[in-house]
Structure 1
Amino acid sequence: MSYQVLARKWRPQRFDDVIGQRGVTQTLRNAIATRRIAQSFVFSGPRGVGKTTTARILARGLSCLNGPTADPCGECEPCVEIAQGRDMDVIEIDAATNTGIDQVREVIIDGLGIRPARNRYKIFIIDEVHRLSKPAFDALLKSVEEPPAHVVFMMATTEIDKVPATIQSRSQVFELKLIGVKQIADQLRTICAAENIQIEEAAVTLVARAGDGSMRDAQSALDQVIAFAGT
């Protein structure tokens, strides 16, 4: 079996697993519990703090056969397929490579009227949404303003100032923060213990600091340390 990098292997699968963003995850939990689910979300923040991961967990919660639930089972077909990136009703778009109006129309707008094949919702997760062109944003706006009842938009961005105010005002905007060194270090210890990796405490702290507030960057740095040490 090929090696799976730590950032992917340890990607959170539940809201409780998301480190350092309790305000965001608790609000989403409450929204699901009370069935007050918006149809457009924007997750903003630095790289590697859990924006797209949070969107995927929310998508699983809305699609789980036991749901909608804030605690997706992780075992039903929607949960498994969303985690693997192959659920036909959860469409992930990288706006960095699909910036134009033609791509937005083809991937999103033209399919809005088609009901989900299996799940409750058709969910569009748009990563790096700030990279869309102005014509693409203009085309997307109408869909965000008046989406069909079965459609939910989830957008992630590291540059919220480049997302038009018209999109933000029609969405629930969540700001994810940089993660503290202690929280990152605690998670790195958990990973090392589970992976049977021996590492000195001083090294854990150095790696956590190297992450500069990003859990993903810290996990990538830990991968490099492990490779260097030949563990």
Structure 2
Amino acid sequence: MSYLVLARKSRPQTFDQVIGQRPVVKTLQNSLARDRVAHALIFSGVRGVGKTTLARLMAKAINCEHRDNNNNPCNKCLSCQEITAGSSLDLYEIDGASNRGIQEIRELKEKIRFLPTSAKYRIVIIDEVHMLTTEAFNALLKTLEEPPEHVYFMFATTEIHKIPITILSRCQQYELKRVCADDLSGHFERLIGEEGKEIEKEALALIVREAAGSVRDGLSLLDQVLSFSESSVTTSDAIEVLGLIDREVLMNLDPSTLGRRSLHRHSCP
């Protein structure tokens, strides 16, 4: 099998494994415990903060046969295993960018009319839902207003302002924040240990800074650095791979020269 990148290898399989987003996670767990899950959920936020991950976790938990005390999916029952493997017939995961027209939504509506095949509910996940056309949103509107009892909708978007207010008003909205540096640092350090490697603190800090609150972006950078380095990741390795400027170079710059360069740059049209 080909190499599995860290972003896929470390994808959370329970709510307890989600990095950051504690208020959102707790709300979702409580809604499951009290049987108050809305028929349509929309997760918004910048890329790589866990929108699609939470949608999949909710899909698992809703259909799970043996949730634990924290309402985490068991990952052992047939439904959980099928969703993890991507073979569930009752989970429709759609890319809104490439399936954005009214015809695709009509076909989806036709499919969800039927009862689930093996799970308790049919789950529809539409990623980048803001890419749907106006006609597609209009076709979806009536279904969201009066959804079948056996269907749940999960939407994910990086641009929630592009979604019609008529759609938003029929969804329970969850805004995901950028993950704080401490959470990212702890998560990355743990993964590096699992990979059997070590990393200098300053190198880790550089990766966390470049990730800018995105778990997925940080894991992609970490993958690059780990591939470049030997058993231990040094600060110089991180600087070279990430294309950063060494602090010593900045400290040795002549301020007067820097000022003249800056003035010249600003004088250009």
Question: Fold-level match, TM-score > 0.5?
Answer: yes
- Aligned-pair CA distance for 1:230: 4.4
Structure 2 residues not aligned, in runs of 5+ = 232-269
Deviates more, 1:5-14 or 1:72-81: 72-81
User: What's 2:99 paired with?
Assistant: 98
Instruction: Return the letter of the residue paired with 1:138.
Output: N
For residues 168-219 of structure 1, the C-alpha deviation after alignment (integer angstroms, 9 at most, x for no partner) is 1111000000011111011000101111111111111111111111000000
Q: CA deviation at 1:84?
A: 2.0
The structure whose RCO (Cα within 8 Å, separation 6+) is larger is 1
Q: Which has the larger radius of gyration?
A: 2
CA distance in 1, matches of 2:119, 2:43: 23
Partner SS, residue 75 of structure 1:
coil
Question: What amino acid is aligned across from residue 188 of structure 1 in structure 2?
Answer: F
| Residue in structure 1 matched with residue 72 of structure 2 by the alignment | 71
State the identity %.
48
Distance 2:165 2:197 in 1: 47
Distance 2:201 2:73 in 1: 34
Query: Does 2:114 align with 1:114?
Result: yes
Query: What secondary structure is seen at the aligned counterpart in 1 of 2:198?
Result: coil
Match of 2:7 in 1: 7
Query: Deviation above 2 Å: which 4+ runs of structure 1?
Result: none
What value does the CA root-mean-square deviation take over the aligned residues? 1.2
Partners of 2:141 and 2:67 in 1: CA distance: 29
Q: Which runs of 5+ in 1 are unaligned?
A: none
> What is aligned with 1:183?
183
Residue 111 of structure 1, CA deviation: 1.5
Secondary structure of the corresponding residue to residue 226 of structure 2 = helix
Is residue 132 of structure 2 the alignment partner of residue 132 of structure 1?
yes
Distance 2:35 2:138 in 1: 29
Number of residue pairs matched? 230
Secondary structure of the residue that 1:173 maps to in structure 2? strand
Instruction: Report the secondary structure of 2:227's partner residue.
Output: helix
1:29 matched residue in structure 2:
29
Q: Which moved more, 1:179-188 or 1:59-68?
A: 59-68
- Residue 84 of structure 2 is matched in structure 1 by 83
Deviation at 1:133, TM superposition (A): 0.3
| Residues 1:67 and 1:73: Cα distance change in structure 2 (over 3 Å) | closer
